[in-house]
Amino acid sequence: MWTNLVSNNYQVKLLSTIENKETLDIMSKNRIYIFDTTLRDGEQVPGCQLNTKEKVTIARALEQLGVDVIEAGFPVSSPGDFKSVQEICKAVKEPIVCALTRAKVVDIDCAAQALHFGKRKRIHTGIGASDIHIEHKLKSTREKVLEQGVAAVKYARKFVDDVEFYAEDAGRADQEYLAKMVEAVISAGATVVNLPDTTGYNLPDMFGAKIKYLMNTVPNIDKAIISIHCHNDLGLATANSMAGLINGARQVEVTINGIGERAGNTSLEEVVMIAKSHPHLNFETNIDTTKLYPMSELVSEMMGMPVQPNKAIVGSNAFAHSSGIHQDGIIKHRENYEIIDPADVGVPKSTIILTARSGRAALRHRLEILGYKFDSDEMEVVYMRFLDMADMKKQIENDDLHELASYREAVAS
C-alpha cells in the first residue's frame, strides 16, 4: 500500500528522515480496505430486508465504525434499493458508496443514477468466470464473457473513476482464464478486481494459492487493488479471506455478524480482530474495534436476525466462562482464558456463568461482588446448597444467590 501511495525514491528519502521507530512501523504496515456488504449481500437473507430509513441508520453506523467502502445495494433490482443507494449517498461522506450491477448497460445506467449524490462513489460490475457459470448460467463462451466484462468496465468508467469488477465464482474458475480476465479488465480501467469464492468451495491453501498465482502472473496486477469475497458454505469464509490477504489481496468484502446469502459471508468482526490479534501479519484497518459489539447488536436487532451465542467476537458467550477450571483461571488472570480484552470490542466485561459446573472460586467471587463474606466452613455449606440448586436449574442468577446466602440468618433464628 505504501508503495502504491508514493514512488520508491520518495519512500526511501522519507523513511531515512524518520527516526521514531513506532512511526516507521505504522508506515510500513499493509493497509487492508474493509468493504462492507451488509446492506447488499447481507440484506439478501430471507426475512432480513430493511427499509431505506433503516439502511441509512446502518450506513451511518458503518461510517462511524470506520469501514472504507459501503456496498449500499443493487439499484436495478427494485425502486426501494435504488432509493436506499441514493439516500445513503446523501447520508455519509467518508466511505466510498458502492452500487452493484450485472455486466449490463441497463444496470450500469441505473447504478450511475442512484450514485449521483455520492461524494466518493464506485460501480461494482461483473460476470461469471467459472465454466459452470459460463455454460449453465450465462449459456455463453469464455471469449464472449470476457468481452462482456471488459465492455461493462469501460462503460462504467464513463460515469465514475472508481470501478470494481467481480469475476463471479472465481473460486471455481480455471486459473489461466481468470488471469486473462483480470488482466483485460484492469486494462479496461478497473481500479479494484474482486475474486469471489461465490460458493464457499475452497480450502484456505487452495484459495491462497489462487491469489498468489494471479499476483505473480498478471502483468498489470499492480495497477489495481485485489479484493476477496468469500462465502461460508463450508465454514471457511474467514479462513479463506485471511489466506487471500496473506497472499496479496488488500481489500476484503465482509458483513456484520457474517450474514449473507445461504451460510453467509466473511464476518467483518472476525477479520478485523484477527488482524489486530496477530500484529506479525502487519495488517492495519481503519476500524474502531470498540464499536464492533454495538454494531453487531444494531444489525441483529434491525434485521431481526439473532446472533448465535457462540459466534466469535460478538456472540453472547464469546466472553462468558462457565466451567470451574476456566472460572478459577480467569479470576486469577484474565489472559489465562481470553485472547481479546472484551473492552477492545465494546463488550462491557467478561461474565462468569454460575452453573453446576462452577467451582468454589467462582461462587465466592460472585458472592463477594454481592457483598457476602463467608469463612471456609460456611462456604462449604453454601457451596453444597448451591450445587443442589444448580442441578435443578440451568443457571444460577443473583436472586438465587441472595436466597442461598440467607441460610445464615435462617440458621441463627
Q: DSSP for 55-124, please give it.
A: HHHHHHHHHHHT-SEEEEE-GGG-HHHHHHHHHHHHH-SSSEEEEE--SSHHHHHHHHHHTTT-SSEEEE
- Candidates 33, 35, 166, 201: give the one binding ligand KIV (CB under 6 A): 166
- Candidates 41, 43, 168, 197: give the one binding Zn ion (CB under 5 A): 41
User: Hey, what amino acid is at 232?
Assistant: N
In this structure, how many other beta carbons lie within 10 angstroms of the beta carbon of residue 46?
6
CB of 167 to ligand KIV, least distance (A): 9
The interface mask with ligand KIV, positions 174-203, x = CB under 6 A, is --------------------x-x-x-----
Q: Which is nearer to ligand KIV, 198 or 238 (CB)?
A: 198
Q: Which is nearer to ligand KIV, 138 or 387 (CB)?
A: 138
Q: Which does 168 bind (CB under 5 to 8 A by kind): ligand KIV, Zn ion, none?
A: ligand KIV
CB of 225 to ligand KIV, least distance (A): 15
Q: Which of residues 12-71 bind ligand KIV (CB under 6 A)?
A: 41
Q: Which is nearer to ligand KIV, 41 or 87 (CB)?
A: 41
Burial of 96 (0-12, 13-18, 19+ CB in 10 A): buried
Q: Which of residues 113-132 bind ligand KIV (CB under 6 A)?
A: none
Q: Which does 166 bind (CB under 5 to 8 A by kind): ligand KIV, Zn ion, none?
A: ligand KIV
For residue 168, state whether it binds ligand KIV (rule: CB under 6 A).
yes
CB 15 within 8 A of CB 27: yes
CB of 111 to Zn ion, least distance (A): 17
Nearest to 90 by CA among 116, 109, 64: 116
CB 292 within 8 A of CB 319: no
Q: Which is nearer to Zn ion, 118 or 196 (CB)?
A: 196
Q: Which is nearer to ligand KIV, 168 or 183 (CB)?
A: 168
Q: Which is nearer to ligand KIV, 262 or 393 (CB)?
A: 262
Distance from C-alpha of 156 to C-alpha of 144, rounded to nearest angstrom: 18
- How many residues touch ligand KIV under the rule CB under 6 A: the total is 8
Residues contacting residue 255 through CB under 8 Å, at least 6 positions apart: 36, 37, 38, 41, 42, 264, 265, 266, 267, 268
Q: Which does 326 bind (CB under 5 to 8 A by kind): Zn ion, ligand KIV, none?
A: none
Q: Which is nearer to Zn ion, 45 or 151 (CB)?
A: 45
Nearest to 125 by CA among 106, 105, 150, 152: 152
CB of 229 to ligand KIV, least distance (A): 5
For residue 270, state whether it binds ligand KIV (rule: CB under 6 A).
no
Give me the residue whose beta carbon is nearest to Zn ion.
41
Distance from C-alpha of 240 to C-alpha of 231, rounded to nearest angstrom: 9
- Angle at CA 70, nearest 5°, toward 126 and 235? 75
CB of 272 to ligand KIV, least distance (A): 20
In this structure, how many other beta carbons lie within 10 angstroms of the beta carbon of residue 287?
23
Burial of 219 (0-12, 13-18, 19+ CB in 10 A): exposed
In this structure, how many other beta carbons lie within 10 angstroms of the beta carbon of residue 375?
7
Binding piece for Zn ion, criterion CB under 5 A, among 34-42, 139-147, 310-318, 352-360: 34-42
Binding piece for Zn ion, criterion CB under 5 A, among 39-47, 110-118, 242-250, 321-329: 39-47
For residue 162, state whether it binds Zn ion (rule: CB under 5 A).
no
Distance from C-alpha of 126 to C-alpha of 227, rounded to nearest angstrom: 13
Q: Where does this chain bind ligand KIV (CB under 6 A)?
A: 41, 166, 168, 194, 196, 198, 229, 231
Q: Where does this chain bind Zn ion (CB under 5 A)?
A: 41
